Structure 1
Amino acid sequence: MKNYLIVGASSGIGAQLCQQLAAHTQNRVWGTYYQHETVSSAPNLSYHYLNVLDDNLNFDFLPDTLDGLAFCVGKISLKPFSRISQAEYIADYQAQVLGAVKTIQAVLPRLKAAPNASIVLFSTVAVQTGFSFHALVAASKGAIEGITRALAAELAPKIRVNALAPSITDTPLAQNLLNTPEKKEANAQRHPLKKIGSAADLANAAEFLLSEQSGWITGQIVAIDGGISSLRI
């Protein structure tokens, strides 16, 4: 029996990951939602309200041992740098970085109680590859990449920490960028594989990193991006 916590599980990658983990009946999965209340019909999957902006996060619904945590909370706000306010930078950092920090700190004793635990965070291809209008998201996700490596060193050997760095993925979070067939095709053509990512593409990678199959992988930022960060064709 493995116990997994997925924060930000009401839609997109988090929702897909919950379903995939819960498909294995030996797993127990807890997902959290914020704006959209979510109910599960699977006996080994339950959903709980959580606002990562709260000062004190309550995880009393979890068992004493946690084998894996995926922090899937994300925001996408693309605009010219000159139009980004300091308040927007602070709000983005609080949700994406401090939310992850508070969550990890709160459940760390449960992760340490497991024989071998894994944490999966989410970055973006825009940290390592510069794109116009990405100065807000790249700043927060750059911090996530730094935390990933630092925690991987500090928590080894019992807890592995990795992050996924996707390019644009067809989820509700990116709908403003993909809300017409023309936008979808234009974004697909920017990638060497000529398609955009799906929630399953990212959930598959996250499920692997949470599992013991990736037991010799830690401190890595894994690009799941259709080749856009490393290929020119």
Structure 2
Amino acid sequence: MGTIIVIGGSKGIGKSIVNMMLESHRVINISRTPPESRHSNLTHYDGDILTDELPDLDSVDSLVYCPGSINLKPLARLSLDDFRSDFEINVLGAVKAIQKYLPQLKKGVNPSILLFSTVASKLGMPFHASVATSKSGVEGLVKSLGAEFAPTIRVNAIAPTVTNTQLASKLLRNEKMIANITERHPLKKFLNPEEVASTAAFLLSDKAASFSGQIFEMDCGIVSFKI
């Protein structure tokens, strides 16, 4: 039974990943709030990725970094601190976690790292300057570390479109907005966190042994198609 660390596994996509992996893996969740789930395979550590020391662990096979931000403003209203904050949570937090657990991952069984980007890194969208900039940094990190850690550790990312989580609640706050977002996607849908968790579970598994340095766009067609 492998050991998976999930940073930010108490809410949203991270929560769905934790719940999906519990029956087959030891899952270590590190987040500011405890998860609602209780399971013999689940261990929780309280901590803020940006300010707190990460716990020492003996064994790690996979690392999933879920924290992110949706800071949507016109450029004129974005401060340099907004850009710094988004970069810190999306990129520097991931770097901190990877550096901390790299020695354990190198000794893991079929080790893997999974990060998260966004469709806004590929699709130019108004008011996304800060989050798209930081998530583009995540994609560069995936490519660079995938090459650096080969053949020992695989590194990939999922770039989801709008996902029905608390983080995206402002984008889905009424029926009109839900209808507009649904209509914008060629597949006439947006994502739920369980869909993203299923892709994460695949990328962490031996079935994805040939994938590294890849950005998997879960876009419901919005990036891939022009219809």
TM range (shorter): over 0.9
* Aligned 8 A contact 2:123 2:223 in 1: yes
Alignment partner of 1:126: what SS? helix
Q: For 2:34 and 2:114, locate their aligned partners in 1 and report how far apart those are by CA, in whole Å.
A: 23
Letter of the 1:144 partner, please give it.
V
How large is the Cα RMSD of the aligned pairs? 1.1
Letter of the 1:192 partner, please give it.
P
Alignment partner of 1:231: what SS? coil
Map of 2:128 onto structure 1:
134
Letter of the 1:168 partner, please give it.
V
Alignment partner of 2:154: what SS? strand
Letter of the 1:187 partner, please give it.
I
Alignment partner of 1:170: what SS? coil
Once the two structures are superposed, the pairs formed by residues 15-164 of structure 1 within 5 Å of their partners are: 15-24=15-24, 27-34=25-32, 36-54=33-51, 57-60=53-56, 62=57, 64-164=58-158
Calculate the TM-score normalised by the size of structure 2: 0.97
Percent identity over the alignment? 42
**Does 2:221 correspond to 1:227?**
yes
**What are the Cα deviations for residues 11-69 of structure 1, in whole angstroms up to 9, with x where unaligned?**
10000000000032xx10011221x3335421001221121112x62222x3x221111
Once the two structures are superposed, the pairs formed by residues 152-231 of structure 1 within 5 Å of their partners are: 152-231=146-225
Letter of the 1:49 partner, please give it.
D
Q: For 2:185 and 2:36, locate their aligned partners in 1 and report how far apart those are by CA, in whole Å.
A: 36
* Aligned 8 A contact 1:115 1:158 in 2: no
Q: Which runs of 4+ in 1 moved over 3 A?
A: none
**What are the Cα deviations for residues 114-170 of structure 1, in whole angstroms up to 9, with x where unaligned?**
132000000000011110110010010000000000000000001000011111110
Q: How many residues align?
A: 227
* Aligned 8 A contact 2:184 2:222 in 1: yes
Q: For 1:115 and 1:33, locate their aligned partners in 2 and report how far apart those are by CA, in whole Å.
A: 24
List runs of 5+ in structure 1 lacking aligned partners: none
Q: For 1:169 and 1:94, locate their aligned partners in 2 and report how far apart those are by CA, in whole Å.
A: 22
Q: For 1:182 and 1:216, locate their aligned partners in 2 and report how far apart those are by CA, in whole Å.
A: 42
**What are the Cα deviations for residues 168-190 of structure 1, in whole angstroms up to 9, with x where unaligned?**
11000000110112211110110
List runs of 5+ in structure 2 lacking aligned partners: none
* Aligned 8 A contact 2:142 2:155 in 1: yes
Calculate the TM-score normalised by the size of structure 1: 0.94
Letter of the 1:29 partner, please give it.
V
Letter of the 1:99 partner, please give it.
G
